[in-house]
Chains A and B, each alone.
Chain A
Amino acid sequence: MSGLRAPSAARAGADAVKANRSSPESLIRKSLRARYRRERRFYQTGVAAIAMGVLFLLWLLGVSAHQASSAFFQTYIALDIQLDATQFASLPLAADERRQAIADANYNKMIKASLRATFPAASSRQDKRRLYQLVSDSAEYMLRDAVLRNPDLLKPPSVQAPRRFWVLADDEVDMFMKGYIDRAQPEANRRLSDQSIAWIEHLRAQQRIEKRFNRPFFTAGDSRDAEQSGILAATLGSFFTLAVTMLLALPVGIAAAVYLQEFAPKNKLVDVVEVNINNLAAVPSIIFGLLGLAVLINFFGLPRSVPLVGGIVLALMTLPTIIISSRAALAAVPPRIRQAALGVGASGVQTVVHHVLPLALPGILTGAIIGLARALGETAPLLAIGMVAFIVDVPSAPTDPATALPVQIYLWADSPERAFVERTSAAILVLLALLAVINGLVAVFRNKMETRW
């Protein structure tokens, strides 16, 4: 019935509009139409706004992943190397000395000889130099390590014949193999000469050049040569820094939260502490770097560039976050727990330590992990306390000079070589993956351990 009436009413309305454009009904109808239009437009701008945010996120992740994808594979070149028998002719017999003697051999010479043997046409000085640049500077160490791993190679039957070794290619060769060097460009504008490209093509035809999984990226420290650089040192630096941060910030933060939430009297002084903590949470991170520089390094004389100082600075920075979230977790424990504990004779401290804290722990840990995630991505304060130095060695303690993963990203982003761009993106991807794991932990904590009262 109503279905039948509606169109006729609409028609009647339309007739009325035609009949009298200024009747109140038609005015309302017109304004209604405008209002609904505005409603729709408003809704659409809302959708557009959130879509923009989400699209930007996807764009950023997509670009990073796309740029990083090639960094996980690196170009290797196969060289037929004749191990130089004369260099290994009179090896000492004692194992240690023998090892040392093998390590001290001139492998660079053997690699160069092999390259010359592969491309006999390269005779001029310049050609030879270019030829030697096809392989990475680290090729000789790779060869040395291969020989040290397998000393049988030096025994008579093997040492006579040339053997095939895969060594790391130079980063420019790698860039060419990944298609980042445009052959159409004039030779002078390229980092790779026509001659070098011809050699690469020759190697490619013989299947002696290929891309393999980029192990150095995960097992090496920083390097001036892109092909030898890796994130291990920076990751360990981040690890030590965060270990110091958590060791300091977690107990202190929980203790402060317990005091403020459970024991603190209501007075002006405690009010000041509370306001202060809230404000501290919003102080720009670079200011904490200035604090570390002035107090820890300049006043207390701690060394620059070490994870210990970085950890202390980041601990001060994450402390307010941990205090605020721990207080929320403590506040969520219902008063009846405290009353019951106090009722059977527990003291105030016993009540908190034995009953309230264990119940609040999942919430506290969630807050701590969020603080940890923030500290992992933080760069600016570490710049101020000098963790930006170029450090090749992998740190083994919080007092060794080191850099951190985000700082490594910053350092590589500043490098002009094309090869570092993909490595920067790859390091970003690793950092984001670590953050995703940490946030996944948070989700697990929330779901599994959260108590509903």
Chain B
Amino acid sequence: MNVLLALCVVFIGLPGMLILAMHLLRRQHAIRHQVEAAFKWFLVGCACLAIFTTAGIVLSVLFEAIRFFNIVPLTEFLFGLEWSPQTAIREDQVGSSGAFGAVPLFAGTLLITAIAMFIAVPCGLLSAIYLSEYASHRVRAVGKPMLEMLAGIPTVVYGFFAALTVAPLVRDGAAFIGLEAASESALAAGLVMGIMILPFVSSLSDDVMNAVPQSLRDGSLGLGATRSETIKRVVLPAALPGIVGSVLLAASRAIGETMIVVMAAGLAAHLTANPLQSVTTVTVQIVTLLVGDQAFDSPKTLAAFALGLVLFGVTLGLNIIALHVARKYKEQYE
């Protein structure tokens, strides 16, 4: 009897327990599977947030800009030479508050960006050359972080410095050689912005020059070229796509830079190429139009979004070109 019971347990109980165990295991496995699937969907959702952000930017800026273009025609915005959103000239005028021709803003942005690039490109490139080709290990260990500190300083600090220290210097300097400079000259803002974006040029160019294989340099030096000749004729051409990419990224930075120009460039929209005059930029106007209590659907507020759309489009275009150029270069040596 006992033996029978034991046999029963062995032949029925054990397989039963086995089945139960496997069932439990499968269930646990299923739960684990479900948890993992849910976890992965959470990860996917987080990765898609970047897409949502971009979509949010494009849609919000686009919709508000379209509302703006319903009030002010697109052609007037893109080709108009007069920008004075603050002053209502006539009650029955379009949008009843001023003119929205953005050409002076585009010109001002280009002028300040050009000045900044005029500083940043040669200085950044030469610094990168020095750091990657000439500097000893010790100098490089000190110099590179110092230059990168320039990129870490908040732009509001640069703005204050440009407005309070550099702008008076520019004005006095211009007066010294008999020229008249506005107290908020494009030159002061551009100079300081040039210093700000210098590390963007130097750091990226340094990286691409370091990626140029040493064998190319050795070949050139072995043929009797001096170091500078090697750099100019071999290293720079080899690194050119990456350098162009870094310059484009720096230009996009300069165009989108806000605080330096808000604090050091002017508010009045002059259409001029004279760097000693005060000009205004797209970003300055976005900030000026938005700061202060505004009805959300006034053409003034909407104009900020139209300017934002232009800014987003231009910087995005520059970034895409820069990344494309840099990526193409990468394929060459890896």
Chain A residues at the B interface, C-beta cutoff of 8 Å = 35-36, 38-39, 42-43, 45-50, 52-54, 56-57, 60, 63-64, 251-253, 255-256, 258-260, 263-264, 272-273, 275-280, 282-291, 293-295, 298-299, 316, 319-320, 323, 347-349, 373, 376-380, 383-384, 386, 388, 406-407, 409-410, 413, 421, 424-425, 428, 431-432, 435, 439
Contact = CB atoms under 8 A, between A and B. Distances in A.
A351 to B, nearest CB: 11
B226 to A, nearest CB: 4
Contact of A39 (B32, B228, B308): B228
**A-B pairs with the 10 shortest C-beta distances?**
A284-B256, A377-B154, A46-B130, A49-B126, A294-B60, A259-B43, A255-B46, A380-B258, A42-B228, A256-B47
A323 B50 contact: yes
B95 interface: no
B152 A373 contact: yes
Given A264-B47, A421-B164, A46 B53 contact: no
A349 to B, nearest CB: 4
A383 B50 contact: no
Contacts of B232: 42
B298 interface: no
Interface stretch (B7-15, B75-83, B315-323): B315-323
29 contacts: A43-B130, A49-B123, A53-B146, A53-B195, A53-B199, A54-B147, A57-B149, A57-B153, A256-B47, A256-B49, A256-B50, A273-B47, A276-B50, A277-B50, A282-B252, A282-B253, A283-B256, A283-B319, A285-B256, A287-B308, A287-B311, A294-B305, A349-B40, A377-B154, A378-B154, A379-B155, A380-B259, A383-B258, A410-B263
Nearest to B60: A294
A38 B232 CA distance: 12
B146 A384 contact: no
Given A50-B127, A283-B256, A284-B257, A409 B36 contact: no
Nearest to B55: A276
Most chain B CB within a 10 A radius of its CB, from A42, A48, A428 = A42
A442 to B, nearest CB: 10
Interface of B: 32, 35-36, 39-40, 42-44, 46-51, 53-54, 56-57, 60-61, 63-64, 122-127, 129-131, 134, 143, 146-147, 149-150, 152-161, 163-165, 195, 198-199, 202, 226-229, 231-232, 249, 252-253, 255-259, 262-263, 283, 286-287, 290-291, 296, 304-305, 308, 311-312, 315-316, 319-320, 323
Nearest to B199: A53
Interface of A is mostly: helix
B256 A286 contact: yes
Contact of B53 (A38, A280, A431): A280
A377 B305 contact: no
Contact of A283 (B199, B290, B316): B316
Contacts of A320: 50
A64 to B, nearest CB: 7
Contacts of B35: 349
A112 B111 CA distance: 56
Interface of B is mostly: helix
B133 to A, nearest CB: 8
Given A53-B198, A428-B160, A287 B259 contact: no
A277 B48 CA distance: 10
Nearest to B151: A374
A384 B150 CA distance: 25
A279 B32 contact: no
A291 B50 CA distance: 13
Contacts of B155: 377, 379-380
Given A57-B146, A379-B258, A428-B160, A316 B228 contact: no
Nearest to B297: A298
Contacts of A298: 296
B323 A279 contact: yes
B49 to A, nearest CB: 6
Given A280-B53, A285-B256, A347-B32, 14 more contacts: A46-B130, A49-B126, A60-B157, A60-B161, A273-B51, A282-B319, A287-B61, A290-B305, A294-B60, A319-B49, A349-B35, A377-B157, A383-B287, A388-B291
Given A49-B122, A413-B159, A39 B319 contact: no
A384 B134 contact: no
A283 B312 contact: yes
B122 to A, nearest CB: 7
Contacts of B198: 53
Contacts of B308: 286-287, 290
A251 B161 CA distance: 36
